[in-house]
Copies of this chain bind each other. A is one copy, B any other.
Amino acid sequence: MPWRLVSTDADFDERFAALLGAKREQASDVDVAVRSIVARVRSEGDAALIALTRQFDQLDLTPATMRVSEAEIDAAFEATAPETLAALRLAHDRIAAHHRRQLPKDDRYTDAIGVELGSRWTAIESAGLYVPGGTASYPSSVLMNAVPAKVAGVERIAMVVPAMRGALNPLVLAAARIAGVSEIYRIGGAQAIAALAYGTETIAPVAKIVGPGNAFVAAAKRQVFGHVGIDMIAGPSEVLVIADGDNDPAWIAADLLAQAEHDAAAQSILITDDAAFADAVEAAVERQLKTLSRAETAAASWATHGAIIVVPSLDDAVPLSDRIAPEHLELAVADPEALFARLRNAGAVFLGRHTPEVIGDYVGGSNHVLPTARSARFSSGLSVLDFVKRTSILKLGAEQLRELGPAAIELARVEGLDAHGRSVAVRLNL
């Protein structure tokens, strides 16, 4: 049974806080193991990668076979059905088109006293992309992570993907080629993150690592952070659907289950102003669960983390939604724009009854790598901005230095930084 809350109940605040605070992930303490793996790859390079891949992935590699060959990628391409390739290409083109609009503009200007200021954006030189193995090896995620890097102008994109007993998902290879990934290595786990961060004889290091992974991968990313950049550490996926009573309950139930099928720790929440509609959705979820291939996962997620919140009016959904700060927010209401205008915290919003969140997972054009676990309060989805960096620019002539210098000298003085003051004073003959 999902959580059922009514915002006018006396214990609502307490139960809503409990819903927000409920842990959805068990913290796995793999830090010590990961530290030793990272240190080993850092000191032994390829030899460590080969030994660890044999141990964890039951796969024998050599430096020569570590990299996936062009012939293998060709074969994966040929093995992929034309309609799948067409869908991947459509997704790629739409993602690329949307992300090109995110390219930041340089700024350069001269202020009233003649000081030149500015910001210049440049692409990072290289990025590493982690792709999980097994059933979570999604071609759509390859596109979502690689395309923003490519659009940003990153010259080298090195992908790693574990190949348990040698098996690779051909669709992942096909998606990598479509996205313009430069190099693919059949390694995974903390050892792959260490290789990307520090480099080995075969794999050149990268400046930033992105992509989802298990607890070992997440811990390794945290450990190498600072030496290289990393993206967010993603938690289980989540959706909040705000729906009025005029929706087809089957549509909304399907949306809730699309999130729940990802992971038993995923979370689907419905907020509605119509208690009868809430009942109908709950019944539809039960019905649809019976025919899902991933029914066990979806049922576990829905029973443990699913929630239905009934509010007197949709106005009351606004503060609740902002506290949840959902990764995905569907507004299945008559006037979604008006509601959206009043909302603040969400990774991605899907407006109207004909915009199921799943469109954003694949072919909408927006990115599906989004802030989870309430982090949309302070962070954003993956974008081109994650693959560029800004250099601030300052340029003074003698006249501007004379004008601004004395204030700088004064502040250096009160901060007790003599050499700071002198660096200005020496140029003004003070």
Contact = CB atoms under 8 A, between A and B. Distances in A.
A258 interface: yes
A13 interface: no
Q: Is the interface of A mostly helix, strand, loop or mixed?
A: mixed
Interface string A328-367: 0000000010001000111111111111111111111111
Contact of A381 (B109, B392, B414): B392
Interface stretch (A54-62, A156-164, A304-312, A396-404): A396-404
B359 A404 contact: yes
B411 A91 contact: yes
Given A91-B407, A207-B377, A354-B398, A426 B251 contact: yes
Contacts of A138: 415
Nearest to A364: B394
Interface string A387-424: 00111111111101100111110111011111111111
Contact of A375 (B94, B229, B351, B427): B229
Interface in A265-304: 288, 292-294, 298
A88 interface: yes
A347 B392 contact: yes
A214 interface: no
Given A254-B426, A419-B288, A359 B414 contact: no
Nearest to A230: B378
A348 B394 contact: yes
Interface in A236-268: 248, 250-251, 254-255, 257-258, 260-262
A393 B248 CA distance: 23
Highest count of chain B CB atoms <10 Å: which of A208, A352, A375, A423: A423
A125 interface: yes
B407 A364 contact: no
Contacts of A251: 423, 426-427
A323 to B, nearest CB: 10
A47 interface: no
B119 A255 contact: no
B117 A98 contact: yes
Given A101-B109, A254-B422, A379 B412 contact: no
A83 interface: yes
A90 interface: yes
A390 B383 contact: yes
A418 B294 contact: yes
A354 B366 CA distance: 45
A139 interface: yes
Interface string A128-147: 00000001001110000000
Contacts of A347: 391-392
Interface of A: 83-84, 86-88, 90-91, 94, 97-98, 101-102, 107, 109, 111, 115-117, 119, 122, 124-125, 135, 138-140, 171, 207-208, 226, 228-229, 233, 248, 250-251, 254-255, 257-258, 260-262, 288, 292-294, 298, 336, 340, 344-367, 370-371, 373, 375-381, 383, 385, 389-398, 400-401, 404-408, 410-412, 414-424, 426-427
8 contacts: A83-B410, A84-B414, A125-B344, A139-B414, A258-B420, A346-B391, A355-B395, A367-B392
Given A139-B414, A171-B414, 13 more contacts: A87-B410, A125-B344, A258-B422, A261-B420, A288-B419, A354-B396, A358-B420, A359-B394, A359-B405, A361-B412, A364-B404, A380-B391, A381-B390
